[in-house]
Amino acid sequence: MKKTQVFLTIFMFHLCVSKGQLQVGYYSETCPNAEAIVNYVVSEAAKHDPRMAPMLLRLHYQDCFVEGCDGSILINDESVTNPERGAYAHQGVGGFEQIEKAKLFLEYTCPGVVSCADIVALAARDAVVLAGGPFYEVETGRRDGLISNQSLADDMPDVDDSIDTLKSKFMNKGLSEKELVLLIGAHTIGTAACFFMPKRLYDFTGQNNSCDSDPEINPYFLPVLKQKCPKDGDINVRIPLDAETNEKFDDQILRNIKNGMAVIASDARLYDDTFTKQVVNSYVYESIWNIPTSSFLQDFAMAMVKMGRIGVKDDSNGEIRQVCSSFN
C-alpha cells in the first residue's frame, strides 16, 4: 500500500473515532419528529422568556467543555454526590426545565430513543436561529454520559483567564484559536451577572483599589460598567454582554471587543493576542466593507458543529436516559 493510502486510511479512522456515530438525521427513521419536538419546546419557551436563547446556547457549551457533549451537566439526582451542575463554573446556567420538557414529549413519542445530550445540542441550534443567528445541521447520535461530578468542571474556561490560558483550554478540546474567537462570539446575546465583574473593574492587578481596572476597557465605557456594577453593589444584577444588539445574534460583540467595550474580561482578552486580534478584526472589516467571503455567522455555525463532537459517548460508555436529570 502506498504511503498516501496509508495516511488516508489512518486519517479516516481517526475521523470516524472522533465523530463516533454522529450523523445528520440520525433519528430520521427511529424518531422522525425528534427535531420538530425540540424546536417546538424551545420556540414556546422563548416566547415567554427572552433569556431562553442565550441560556440554551450556554448550556450546550458548558456541557461540552467538561466530560464532552454528553448531558453530564443535566444530572441533579440526590443519589449522586456533588453532581456537575453545582460546579462554580456553572453558576447562572439555565434551560434545564426546557430540556426535561422536550425529553418528556420525546419519551411519550419515541421512548428510549433520543438522548438528552442530543436534545441539548438541538436546543442550542434552535435558540441561535430564534435569535436571528445561522441555521446549521446538527449531527445527532450521542449517548448520555455515566459520570457527573463537580470536580470535573474545575478546568472550564474562566472569565478571568489570560488569553494564553483560554487558548490552551480550547486546544485541549481540539478547538483552534479561530474557533475560540467564534465561540466566544456567542456572547453577542445574553447577560452576565455583576458577580463576574469585580476583579476586572476594581482589582485587575491585585492592588485592591477602585482605580485598579482593566486598561483595555474604553475610558468612556468604564464608568458605565462601574455604574451598573458598583464595587459594593448587588452581585446578582445582570447586564447585557452586548449592549448594542443584546437580543440579536450578529457580529456586534466583535466590534465591541475591538472598541474596548467588551463587558467581561475573557471577551476583552481576545484583543491581547496577535492572532485572535487579527481574527476579530477580519470579521469586523468584512462586515464594514461588505466583503463576500466567509462571514462570522457561517464560521460560527461550523465551530458549533465541531464543538458538538467533543467527547461524544457511544453505547460502550453511555446510555439513553429516561429522565435527563437522573442516570438510569
Instruction: Return all residues near 313 (Cβ < 8 A) that are at least 6 apart.
Output: 20, 68, 70, 117, 142, 143, 144, 145, 146
Determine if residue 84 is labeled as part of a ligand binding site. Answer: yes
Determine if residue 72 is labeled as part of a ligand binding site. Answer: yes
Determine if residue 158 is labeled as part of a ligand binding site. Answer: no
- What per-residue string of b and e applies to 104-126 under the rule 16 or more CB within 10 Å gives b? ebbbeebeeebbbbbbbbbbbbb
Whole-angstrom Cα distance, residue 242 to residue 256?
Answer: 8
Element (H, E) at 239: strand 238-240
Determine if residue 157 is labeled as part of a ligand binding site. Answer: yes
Please state whether beta strands 318-319 and 238-240 pair in parallel, antiparallel, or not at all (unpaired): unpaired
Instruction: Return all residues near 42 (Cβ < 8 A) that are at least 6 apart.
Output: 52, 56, 98, 102, 123, 126, 127, 130
Element (H, E) at 227: helix 222-228
CB neighbours (10 Å) of residue 18? Answer: 14
Determine if residue 112 is labeled as part of a ligand binding site. Answer: no
Determine if residue 164 is labeled as part of a ligand binding site. Answer: no
Whole-angstrom Cα distance, residue 106 to residue 271?
Answer: 43
CB neighbours (10 Å) of residue 5? Answer: 9
Instruction: DSSP letter for 132, please.
Output: T
Determine if residue 60 is labeled as part of a ligand binding site. Answer: no
Provide the residue count of the chain. Answer: 328
Element (H, E) at 128: helix 116-130
Whole-angstrom Cα distance, residue 85 to residue 62?
Answer: 10
Determine if residue 176 is labeled as part of a ligand binding site. Answer: no
Whole-angstrom Cα distance, residue 3 to residue 11?
Answer: 12
Determine if residue 70 is labeled as part of a ligand binding site. Answer: yes
Determine if residue 318 is labeled as part of a ligand binding site. Answer: no
Determine if residue 63 is labeled as part of a ligand binding site. Answer: yes
Determine if residue 188 is labeled as part of a ligand binding site. Answer: yes
> Which residue has cell 455567522?
297
Q: Which residues contribute to the annotated binding site for substrate?
A: 157
Q: Which residues contribute to the annotated binding site for heme b?
A: 187
Q: Which residues contribute to the annotated binding site for Ca(2+)?
A: 63, 66, 68, 70, 72, 84, 188, 242, 245, 250
Q: Which residues contribute to the annotated binding site?
A: 63, 66, 68, 70, 72, 84, 157, 187-188, 242, 245, 250
